[in-house]
Amino acid sequence: MQVDKMIDHIVGWLSEYACNAGLRGFVVGISGGIDSAVTSTLCARTGLEVLALNMPIYQAPDQRSLAERHTQWLEKHYPLASGLTVDLTQAFQALEAVLPEDIQDGLSMANTRSRLRMLTLYAFANNRCMLVAGTGNKVEDFGVGFFTKYGDGAVDVAPIADLMKSEVYALGQELNILEDIQAAQPTDGLWTDNRSDEEQLGASYDELEWAMRFEAEGGDETGLSDRQGQVLSRYRQLNRCNRHKMVPIPVAEIPDRYRSA
């Protein structure tokens, strides 16, 4: 794997896109995880302005601390990178106070957290003439649809969306991302119980990568272990259920005959 070439390619792609759009740089939501750390660092390596936004909502102290430490690391190494913490807990509480209690189930409110962060990212991006850089990787964005529609899935550019999770970690190591972030258990930070990604997905990222490649290559299911069969079934279930996130919005196309005189 030519990690250095991957980094140079993504950085060049980001720089060219922003310059062609006539925009100043990038806004990135920082979570304390590897995906947002790598994304924000790639953006910073363009030499353009980068705003790393930490947007806690009832956030676990360790997640908030990792996000803040990464922001400090960015500011130290990249002159045009800056960080800002906008605590959205009070704004989220306002929604909790006005939304009917019977719709406030765990998943609905987790997605509401993500969409509130999206609103905040775009408020800053619009004001500062920047692009919102997404932090989703290939397994999440195109395999199992592990993102919130119109939440963290609403972005202007997706720098790491063609990278498997293992490749994101490889880039993180090459970019000297903080070791604590590289070692942190992946989580979206959207649930009150701070459940991990693996707990939500029912499989590890390594397993899901295997399933995604297996499907793409049309693998032979004969001889699969029980666990491989379970993972493949789970991958297919998630891919099917979340397909609506990964395809264009369906349009009711009007037949030409209805438009003719």
Domain count, the chain: 1
From 12-16, 61-65, 207-211, the region with the lowest mean pLDDT: 61-65
Cα 125 from chain centre: 17
CA gap 107, 192 in Å, rounded = 11
Give the pLDDT of residue 102.
96
For the chain, give the number of residues: 261
Helix (H, G, I), strand (E, B) or coil at 29: strand
CA gap 55, 88 in Å, rounded = 6
Reported pTM: 0.94
Residue 65 included in any domain: yes
Tell me the pLDDT tens digit for each residue of 1-60. 899 999 999 999 999 999 999 999 999 999 999 999 999 999 999 999 999 999 999 988
Residue 24 included in any domain: yes
Residue numbers of the domain that contains 129: 3-195
First to last CA, the chain: 60
Average pLDDT, the chain: 95
For residue 115, give the CATH number of its domain.
Answer: 3.40.50.620
Residue 174 included in any domain: yes
CA gap 235, 40 in Å, rounded = 28
Do 159 and 137 form a contact (C-beta atoms < 8 A)? no
Residue 259 included in any domain: no
Place of tokens 């979570």: 31
Over range 156-179, report the average pLDDT: 97
pLDDT tier at 62 (50, 70, 90 boundaries)?
A: confident
Residue 81 included in any domain: yes
Residue 8 included in any domain: yes
Burial of 78 (0-12, 13-18, 19+ CB in 10 A): buried
From 39-48, 60-69, 80-89, the region with the lowest mean pLDDT: 60-69
Strands (E), the chain: 25-30, 49-54, 81-85, 131-132
Residue 210 included in any domain: no
Residue 261 above 80 pLDDT?
no
Give the pLDDT of residue 61.
83
Residue 106 included in any domain: yes
Q: Of 207, 201, 187, nearest to 32 (Cα)?
A: 187
What DSSP string runs through 69-138? HHHHHHHHH-TTEEEEE---HHHHHHHHHHS-GGG--HHHHHHHHHHHHHHHHHHHHHHHT-EEBP---H
Question: Half-sphere exposure (CA, 13 Å, Cβ side) for 200?
Answer: 21
